[in-house]
Amino acid sequence: MRSSRLPVPIDPELLPVSTNRNPTDTVAPMSISQQPLVLVIDDEPEVLGEVAAVLARAQYDCHCCSTAESAVEFARTTPPDLIICDINLAGQSGLKLCEQIKEDPALEDVPVMFLSGAQIPDIIRRSHAVGGTYYLRKPFDPDVLIELVGKGLWMPHLVHSHAVARV
């Protein structure tokens, strides 16, 4: 769990920009309580703002990245509790990014949820094959997004409890 952000509606144009990152990478306003950290990766600023606003209203801590490179850098320095990623990122496939994340021992148990408008045959099967937990199509229903985020956040706890039970 990480420091949280205030549950306020967020206008993407007003989100502060992180230093040392891509100019479109953003972080929501900070608060004192602790909430799960959700890393959102999408190359469309409007989508980043919309997802960040939905997560903030549900009181999740959110960090947004517009490139795969900045997302990997952020995740390695501040491991998130859950990742929401688009399939089509400028310069890289979200599926390849998921594989890269799952290859990192520090990030392999972080659930990855895909949020995409990709109309690719068998994309849901392919997203699960690379380690994706859920796939939600754009445009998305905010209530369904929050429900899947909540379910995804429980997955590492379930995996850990099953591993402990086997010992």
Q: What is the pLDDT of residue 159?
A: 55
Q: Which residues contact 113 (CB under 8 A, 6 or more apart)?
A: 82, 83, 84, 85, 132, 133, 134, 135, 136, 148, 149, 152
Point out the residues of the chain with pLDDT beneath 50.
1-33, 161-162, 164
pTM: 0.76
pLDDT tens digits for range 93-139: 999 999 999 999 999 999 999 999 988 889 999 999 999 999 999 99
Q: What is the pLDDT of residue 6?
A: 32
Q: What is the pLDDT of residue 18?
A: 35
Q: Which residues contact 53 (CB under 8 A, 6 or more apart)?
A: 9, 10
The position carrying tokens 């068998």 is 122
Q: What is the pLDDT of residue 91?
A: 82
The CA distance from 164 to 125, in Å, is 29
Torsion of CA 86, 63, 65, 82, to 10 degrees: -40
**Domains of the chain: residue spans and CATH:** 2-166 (3.40.50.2300)
* Residue 74 host element (H or E): helix 68-77
